[in-house]
Amino acid sequence: MCGIVGYIGDGDTVNILLESLRKLEYRGYDSAGMAIIDDKGKARIFKNEGEISELEAIVPEISSHVGIGHTRWATHGRPTTQNAHPHCSGNICVVHNGIIENYQELKSELISEGFVFISDTDTEVLAHLINKYYSDDLGLAVGTALGHVRGSYAIGVLSNEHPDELIAARKDSPLIIGLGKDENFIASDIPAILKYTNRIIYIDNLELISVKQGSVRVFDMEGNPVEKEEHIIEWDLEAAEKAGYPHFMLKEIHEQTRSIHETMTGRLHELEGDVNFGELGLDRNEIRQFQRIEIIACGTSYNAGLLGKYLFEGLAGIHTDVDTGSEFRYSSPVLAPSTLVIAITQSGETADTLAAVREAASYGCRTLAITNVVGSTISRDASHTIYTRAGPEIGVAATKSFTSQLVMLYLLAIHFARARSMMDADRARMLLSELRKIPGHVSRILEDAGTIHECASMFVKAKDYFFIGRNINYPVALEGALKLKEISYIHAEGYAAGELKHGPLALISKDVPVVAIAPQGHTYDKILSNIKEVTARDASVIAIVDCDDYCEIEKFADFVIPIPKTDEMLTPLLSSVVIQLLAYYTALELKCSIDKPRNLAKSVTVE
């Protein structure tokens, strides 16, 4: 996904921009570029298809006090050097995240006025448009140009006629300002500039900023000054680096002992048999009045949402539907103010989820965001927000953010069940105390990761995989298949085990490993039958089971991976760690690009 950085100050501008761009690599990109004003007042543009190291190789040593940089993830036009940002017109250079929806009509207009386009991008329209409206005030020209565009943007703009100023603006695409001592920064993401400053201003929609070496001024689109609050970011950079693991994904899988604990910290109230949810901003009465829950999310967060359905219905007795953001936003949802809409998104920036939430809000529904990123767009769009506190997740494949989302859904479902008198305090106490033990159980799974590595190696030649589960294990089966295909590029399907006989059984053969998520529970006998169905078709079975069942299941499975004993309801928290490790070690054996899988981005901020 595209990333923006900008710097103004007495530092080494080129290296600060390169270093900041490197911190955005985790978002995924296909080209990178920068524009700086050199000390002779000349704009110098460098861009390159490929990695930041390739950009670095073409940037000479230049003394400069101001510059903007960009990592591009192609949306309009191929990932070429020509299409890489910045895009320039006259003296104006622009970097842009987002999509200008009416760029075609603006482009035709600009061409008829004599502007010459050299890229296929929507962004180049912005550069020409700003140039068109420029007389002597860069901020005014940017504001006027933005008045003509439809779509989303976070932009950084500079001109060699204004070497002491950077202009930035945002609508529906994240943007922050970093405050330094005699220097200032712009960025699309906090880790980009955390090395230099932890003093941040979050920019809201339709705000325009003039950034100078010694000042930051924020305006609305009518030019009125806007007061902004400064935030201190407590993450240290160390937390966003690999800490000795070969991949961020493995580090993040291991961090789950801590992240799951963090999600629960201060929220478990075992004495009362309830959850402390002060930050939720919904009292018991309000919770009782909801007649339905609609969960909206994408990808892994959608799989978490699916488990949420089983929890809200099974524990709190409230009808729950789950939809992907991309489907929901173009459906004809039947929503009423008595529907609570829960949006789950790690990044808080997923365009489809954000659009769906706005759609839901237009029906008068309360919207509750479950997100990992403080200050993300969803946290400002939703009427209520709770944070998963999983810490920054760099690997494109979601791991610790997923288990923290699950924990959050357990806590919410227990809280709702208590408020609606669907669960007595004893049952709640028991679940909460079992939840408290989960980080310890995860530790034991991690200690035995070698067994899972062995399993991955055994089936590494497979071209297709199936993951099956029933009831609360079904979302884990979906997540197992998503994880495997995402990072190992092996085709994998997640199925409700009872559905195999309605079609996919035709694909089961000796070359297809089937991962059965089969801990003890009320559907255990059923999945045992499903395991027998596939072994009868010569498939190899990898069974994820309770440690007590090891001996019994060994008779039917080719590989057994035990998980520690916990309450049936909570087993997805443990089996999820197993499927993550299975995907990780398979991708490792296949020498795949684990942290940055092909074609994928961490934060999908376009539709």
> Is the Cβ of residue 324 or residue 535 nearer to ligand AGP in the bound state?
324
Window of 148-156, 339-347, 379-387, 583-591 that interacts with ligand AGP by CB under 6 A: 339-347
Nearer to ligand AGP, 274 or 294 (CB): 294
How far apart, in Å, do the first and last CA atoms of the chain sit?
Answer: 12
Q: Whole-number minimum distance, CB 334 to ligand AGP, in Å?
A: 24
396 counts as binding ligand AGP under rule CB under 6 A: yes
Judge contact between 367 and 357, C-beta under 8 A: yes
What element of type H or E holds 564? Answer: none
Binds ligand AGP (CB under 6 A): choice among 25, 38, 486, 493? 486
Shortest gap between Cβ of 75 and ligand AGP (angstroms)? 15
CB of 392 to ligand AGP, least distance (A): 12
Residue in 89, 173, 197, 347 binding ligand AGP, rule: CB under 6 A: 347
Residues 298, 411, 423, 528: which binds ligand AGP (CB under 6 A)?
298
SS3 of residue 255 by DSSP: coil
Q: Which is nearer to ligand AGP, 402 or 474 (CB)?
A: 402
The span from the CA of 65 to the CA of 558, in Å, is: 63
Rounded CA separation 365/294 (Å): 10
Q: Which of 107, 309, 400, 602 is catalytic?
A: 602
Q: Quick one: which of 4, 93, 145, 398 contacts ligand AGP (CB under 6 A)?
A: 398
Question: Contact with ligand AGP (CB under 6 A): which of 59, 264, 397, 592?
Answer: 397
Separation between Cα atoms, residue 547 and residue 277, nearest integer Å: 34
Residue 263 binds to ligand AGP (criterion: CB under 6 A): no
CA 349, 352, 353, 357 torsion: positive or negative?
A: positive
261 torsion bin: left (phi>0), alpha (psi -120 to 50), beta (else): alpha
Q: Please, is 127 exposed, middle or buried when counting C-beta atoms within 10 Å of its C-beta (0-12, 13-18, 19+)?
A: buried
Answer whether 577's CB lies under 8 Å from 444's CB.
no
Q: Decide: is 604 part of the binding site for ligand AGP (CB under 6 A).
A: yes
d(CA 53, CA 25): 11
CA distances (Å), origin 275, targets 16, 17, 209, 410: 45, 45, 41, 10
Tell me, yes or no, if 2 is annotated catalytic: yes
DSSP state of 61: P
**Closer residue to ligand AGP in complex, CB, 86/597:** 597
> Of 105-113, 125-133, 156-164, 344-352, which part binds ligand AGP (CB under 6 A)?
344-352
Q: Judged by CB under 6 A, which of 191, 299, 469, 564 binds ligand AGP?
A: 299
Helix 400-419 and helix 571-589, axial crossing angle in degrees, nearest 10: 170
Q: Which stretch in 43-51, 121-129, 315-323, 393-401 sits in contact with ligand AGP by CB under 6 A? A: 393-401
Q: Please, which of residues 52-71 interact with ligand AGP by CB under 6 A? A: none
Instruction: Report how far residue 475's alpha carbon sits from residue 489's, in angstroms, rounded to the nearest whole number.
Output: 20
The smaller minimum CB distance to ligand AGP, of residues 92 and 606, is found at 606
Which of 2, 88, 93, 365 is an active site residue?
Answer: 2
How far is the C-alpha of 509 from the C-alpha of 511, rounded, in Å? Answer: 5
Which residue has the closest beta carbon to ligand AGP? 299
If one asks whether residue 346 binds ligand AGP (CB under 6 A), the answer comes out as yes
Q: Report the residue number, 376 or 471, with the smaller CB distance to ligand AGP.
A: 376
CB of 115 to ligand AGP, least distance (A): 36
The reply to whether 602 belongs to the active site is: yes
Packing angle of the helix pair 474-488, 571-589 (nearest 10 deg): 20
3-state secondary structure of 536: coil
Q: Which stretch binds ligand AGP (CB under 6 A): 227-235, 244-252, 298-306, 519-527?
A: 298-306
Tell me the β-bridge partners of 542: 515, 559
CB distance 184 to 216 below 8 Å: yes
Contact between 142 and 207 (Cβ < 8 Å): no
385 binds ligand AGP (CB under 6 A): no
Comparison of 123 and 346: residue with beta carbon closer to ligand AGP: 346
353 forms part of the interface with ligand AGP (CB under 6 A): yes
What minimum distance in Å lies between the beta carbon of 604 and ligand AGP?
5
- Residue 296's nearest CA partner among 336, 355, 337 is 355
Which residues are known catalytic residues? 2, 602
Residues lying near ligand AGP in the complex (CB under 6 A):
298-301, 345-347, 350, 353, 396-398, 486, 600, 604
